[in-house]
Amino acid sequence: MISVGIIGGSGYTGKKLVQYCSQHLFVENFEVYGFTKAGETLYNLFPDLMNVVSNKVINSIEDLSYEHDLYFIALPHGEALKFVPQLIESGKKVIDLSGDYRLNNEALYFEWYKKEHTSAELLNNKTYGLADFYGSSDYNSNLIANPGCYPTSILLALLPLAKYYSNEILSVSSVSYSGTSGAGKSANQDLLLSEMDGNVRAYNVNAHRHQPEILQELKKNGFKSPFSFTTHLLPAAVGIYSTTVVHLVNDLNENEITSLYNVVYKDSPFVRVRNTPPELKWVTGTNFCDINISIKGNCAVITSAIDNLIKGASGQAIQNMNKIFGWEESTGLLVKGGNNVQVY
């Protein structure tokens, strides 16, 4: 049994971490720490959680306790830098859900996040927690960088092909669509229902900060081809749908590639290789990533769908906690019989 601290529990992902921790078999207790919401109760902040979780008071982040075994950090980019070094120095396990430790190259932070990294010595000593692709032997650090939502949807869909057919790949183009919750809870006129209803638009074209993260993990697994990545907003609250087009030197056999994906993910309880392109509604509210591979000649089209707040954030963070402590990977995420725990 462990004690958990959730730093930044008032946002969308923080709320889901609270829900998952409250139902986890091996989490004995947890505390929530925040800035502006300190002093409020969880029931005031999340009325729908009444009688679902304990009505804890959110502690001030200024009173952060170092008594917990593991800390989830669900803060805006740049804020985790203020807490991670001391937590790691104190021997604590940390799962950071921001982008602060995902990249290995210090210089890329200033280029893509417009921030100087203040603890770059930790970048190469962390584990990149793409839980379904990397095995338990890769989890050799107390610091886990929880992957971004777009990278999760694209990397799980592309890595098996990139790893085993890197010499065959000519180019890759990924186009992704996200629900507006990916932007967090802060008020933004562009994300109002009256602006997004019936609307779709591209954003951060050729400038999305998740691009170097995706390329980093692809190259780590042998990828060496041109890659493009374009993001769009959907008129929906949650979910990410990605379509990745891969052009290859030679024709591939669809059945062989689908079999490869089934082998790569045979031990993952949360990747489902589908016979047809997935639908977003199949995965929202769950920790699943659904993938379909369609190949015609030398062109592969890979579609994938996830819930951006769960598989792309809190659910994968719980998976990473389970892997750190050697627990069954689905603990707290799947119920007996294999039905996914729904978290709203």
Handedness of CA 257, 260, 266, 270 (dihedral sign): negative
Residues 161 and 302 in one domain: yes
Residues 126 and 235 in one domain: no
Residues 300 and 153 in one domain: yes
Q: Is residue 344 part of a domain?
A: no
Average pLDDT, integer, range 207-229: 95
Owning domain of residue 282 = 149-306
Give how many domains the chain has, as a whole number: 2
User: What pLDDT does residue 191 have?
Assistant: 54
Residues 18 and 119 in one domain: yes
End-to-end CA distance of the chain: 25
Counting residues of the chain whose pLDDT is more than 90, the rounded percentage is 79
Judging by beta carbons within 10 Å of its beta carbon (0-12, 13-18, 19+), is residue 104 exposed, middle or buried? middle
Residues 11 and 121 in one domain: yes
pLDDT tens digit sequence for 20-74: 999 999 999 999 999 888 889 999 989 999 988 989 999 998 889 899 999 999 9
Token pair, residue 148, equals: 């971004």
User: What pLDDT does residue 210 have?
Assistant: 94
Q: Is residue 330 part of a domain?
A: no
pTM: 0.92
Residues 23 and 57 in one domain: yes
Residues 153 and 299 in one domain: yes
Residues 81 and 176 in one domain: no
Q: Is residue 331 part of a domain?
A: no
pLDDT tens digit sequence for 286-325: 999 999 999 999 999 999 999 999 999 999 999 999 999 9
Active site residues: 149
Q: Which residues, 6 or more positions from 248, have their beta carbon under 8 angstroms from its beta carbon? A: 165, 168, 169, 170, 298, 299, 300
User: What pLDDT does residue 313 have?
Assistant: 96
Q: How many CB atoms sit inside 10 A of residue 162's CB?
A: 24
Residues 142 and 228 in one domain: no
We report the CATH number of the domain holding residue 23 as: 3.40.50.720
Residues 162 and 277 in one domain: yes
User: What pLDDT does residue 339 have?
Assistant: 47
Confidence of residue 193 (pLDDT cuts 50, 70, 90): low
We report the CATH number of the domain holding residue 162 as: 3.30.360.10
